[in-house]
Amino acid sequence: MSEAQQQDDEAPSEASITTIDRAARLLTILAAGEAMGMMLTEIARQAGFGKGTTHRVLAALVEVGFVFQSPENRRYRLGSRLTLMAQHARTQELAFRVQPILDRLAEQTGDTAFCSIREGLSAVCIARATGEFPIRTLTLDVGSRRPLGIGAGSLALLAALPDALVQESMAKNARLLAAYPVYSPEWLTGRVREARQSGYAQNPGDILPGMGALGMAVGDPMIQPLAALSIAAISERVSPPRKAVLIEKLREATEELLTLMR
């Protein structure tokens, strides 16, 4: 079989393309619909399809988890699998956009720069860049996960949440936080208060002695943050007067990232 014939055999049929087009149209309609979902009749009307065709396509989408149908009211809405895919795509976009910012931050300071996001009760590192200072602080790898509040970036994420979520996070993470003796609920509450007042979070060596870090949330105070950027170094390099310089560099970097993601 020639290469051209093989490509023709592997090419999608006209029928499959039509089905994909219909599925995409229904997903677009559901995405623009109400959070409580939509009835089959309304979806078919907006799509311009017959009810039978609409039902068949929706059934296929339910089967793969892209659409969910409530057993109580028979309404359709976007499914959790599609939501997870969207979240993953946004995380990938964020990591792509933040990497040049981290690279520049690491180059300017000579230290290690991180970007972390909140996933439920955890902070997850999604990007990292290392500077040229001989002693490198590689406290987090890309993909590393910590309870909210542990570390400068993680603490910045926690402090940017509403009070109710802060208390819920500390309560549900109590067992995990117990592995860090310094991080009692009272102590962590105080650190959250300090971070909110100053506009940045600080880890003065609570996790690794001799290693310090500064973190700053990306977003407006008291609104669930997009991410947090942080700089880690040996403690002497995170002390005054250099600390003020690092805070300003972090502020510039967070503002740049927020502008890019708007």
Measure the CA–CA gap between 160 and 78, rounded to whole angstroms: 29
Q: What percent of the chain has pLDDT over 90?
A: 60
Domain boundaries of the chain, sorted by first residue: 3-78, 84-261
Q: Name residues whose C-beta falls within 8 Å of residue 128's C-beta, 6 or more positions apart in sequence.
A: 102, 112, 113, 114, 115, 138, 140, 141, 142
State CA 251 to chain mean position distance.
Answer: 19
* Res 8 pLDDT > 60: no
Which residue has better confidence, 215 or 219?
215
**Residue 232, pLDDT score:** 94
Measure the CA–CA gap between 132 and 105, rounded to whole angstroms: 11
How open is the CA angle 53-58-59, to the nearest 5 degrees?
A: 100
**Residue 14, pLDDT score:** 61
Measure the CA–CA gap between 172 and 198, rounded to whole angstroms: 26
**Residue 205, pLDDT score:** 72
Q: What is the CATH number of domain 84-261?
A: 3.30.450.40
Instruction: Look up tokens 């089905």; give the residue.
Output: 19
Structure tokens given for 222: 């008291």
* Res 6 pLDDT > 50: no
Which residue has better confidence, 120 or 192?
192
**Residue 223, pLDDT score:** 59
| Cα 105 to Cα 115, 133, 232, distances in angstroms | 11, 13, 11
Measure the CA–CA gap between 205 and 186, rounded to whole angstroms: 18
Model confidence pLDDT, tens digit, residues 106-130: 999 999 999 999 988 999 999 999 9
**Residue 127, pLDDT score:** 95
Query: Which own/partner contact pairs does 94-97 have at CB distance under 8 Å and 24+ positions apart?
Result: 94/126, 94/226, 94/227, 94/261, 95/126, 95/127, 97/257, 97/260, 97/261
Instruction: Give the mean model confidence (pLDDT) for residues 2-19.
Output: 53
From its phi and psi, is residue 118 left (phi > 0), alpha (psi between -120 and 50) or beta?
A: beta
How many C-beta neighbours within 10 Å does residue 51 have? Answer: 12
Q: Do the domains at 3-78 and 84-261 have one common CATH topology?
A: no
Instruction: Give the mean model confidence (pLDDT) for residues 2-18.
Output: 51
Instruction: Give the mean model confidence (pLDDT) for residues 184-194.
Output: 92
Range 3-78 has CATH code 1.10.10.2840 = no
